[in-house]
Amino acid sequence: MNVNYTYSNKLCTGCGICEDVCLKSAITIKRIDGEYKPVIDESLCLGDKCSRCLKVCPGVGCDLTQRAKDLFVEESVKEDKYIGRYVGLHTGCSLDEDIRYHSASGGMVSQFLIFLLENKIIDGAVVTGFDKDKITPYSYIAKTREDVIAARSSKYCPVALNKIGNEIIKAEGNRYVIVGVPCHIQGLRKRASIDRKFREKIVGYFAIYCSSGRNFYSQDYIFKHYGVVRENINNFQYRDNGCLGYLTIDTVDGSSEKHVKVPFTTFYGPLLRSFFKPHRCLSCIDHYGELGDVCFGDIHIKPYSDDKIGISSWITRSEYWENLFRTAADEGYIKMDELDAHTLNESQKVMLYPKKRKAAVVVVMDKMIGRKTPVYDKEFEKPMLKDYIAVLVCHAQRFIGRHKKIWWALEIINKGK
Question: Residues interacting with ligand FAD, by CB under 6 A?
Answer: 103-110, 127-128, 151-156, 159, 179-181, 208-211, 213, 296-298, 312, 348, 351
Please report how close the Cβ of residue 229 comes to ligand FAD at its closest, in angstroms. 24
Tell me, rounded to whole angstroms, the distance of Cα 343 from its chain centroid: 22
* Residue nearer to ligand FAD on the CB measure, 138 or 226: 138
CA distance 42 to 199: 28
Q: How far is the CB of 143 from ligand FAD (least distance, A)?
A: 14
Report d(CA 53, CA 21) in Å as an integer.
6
User: 3-class DSSP state for residue 173?
Assistant: coil
Cβ nearer to ligand FAD, comparing 298 with 322 = 298
Cβ atoms of residues 22 and 292 within 8 Å: no
Bridge partners of residue 296, in order along the sequence:
208, 314
| CB 203 to ligand FAD: min, Å | 16
Give least dist CB 299 to ligand FAD, A: 7
Q: How far is the CB of 415 from ligand FAD (least distance, A)?
A: 26
291 residue type, one letter: L
Please say which residue, 2 or 100, places its beta carbon nearer to ligand FAD: 100
Judged by beta carbon, residue 45 or residue 334, the one nearer ligand FAD is 334
Smallest distance from ligand FAD to CB 213, Å: 5
Residue 274 CA, chain-centre distance (Å), reads: 16
At residue 171, the 3 state secondary structure works out as: coil
CA dihedral 414, 211, 320, 97 (to 10 degrees): 10
Nearest approach, Cβ of 48 to ligand FAD (angstroms)?
Answer: 31
Residue 297 C-beta: closest distance to ligand FAD, Å: 3
**Nearest residue to the partner ligand FAD, using Cβ:** 297
- Closer by beta carbon to ligand FAD, 87 or else 179: 179
- Helix, strand, or coil (residue 338): strand
- Which residue lies nearer to ligand FAD by CB, 6 or 237? 237
* Closest CB to ligand FAD among residues 72, 101: 101
Is 227 exposed, middle or buried, given 0-12, 13-18 or 19+ CB atoms closer than 10 A?
exposed
CB-CB contact of 178 with 125 (8 Å): yes
Beta carbon nearer to ligand FAD, 2 or 105: 105
Strands, E assignment, 50-201: 61-62, 78-80, 84-86, 88-94, 124-130, 137-142, 176-180
Residue 105: half-sphere exposure toward Cβ, Cα within 13 Å = 19
Q: Are 192 and 202 spatial neighbours (Cβ–Cβ below 8 Å)? A: yes
**How are the residues of the chain apportioned to helix, strand and coil, as percentages rounded to the nearest 5?**
40, 20, 40
* 45 versus 354: smaller Cβ distance to ligand FAD: 354
- Minimum CB distance to ligand FAD, residue 38 (Å): 18
Give the residue with the Cβ less far from ligand FAD, 2 or 103.
Answer: 103
CB of 254 to ligand FAD, least distance (A): 32
Specify the residue, 34 or 297, whose C-beta has the smaller distance to ligand FAD: 297
Element (H, E) at 197: helix 196-199
Is 168 buried (19+), middle (13-18) or exposed (0-12) by CB count in 10 A? Answer: buried
**Environment class of residue 187 by beta-carbon count within 10 Å: exposed (0-12), middle (13-18) or buried (19+)?**
buried
Q: How far is the CB of 159 from ligand FAD (least distance, A)?
A: 4
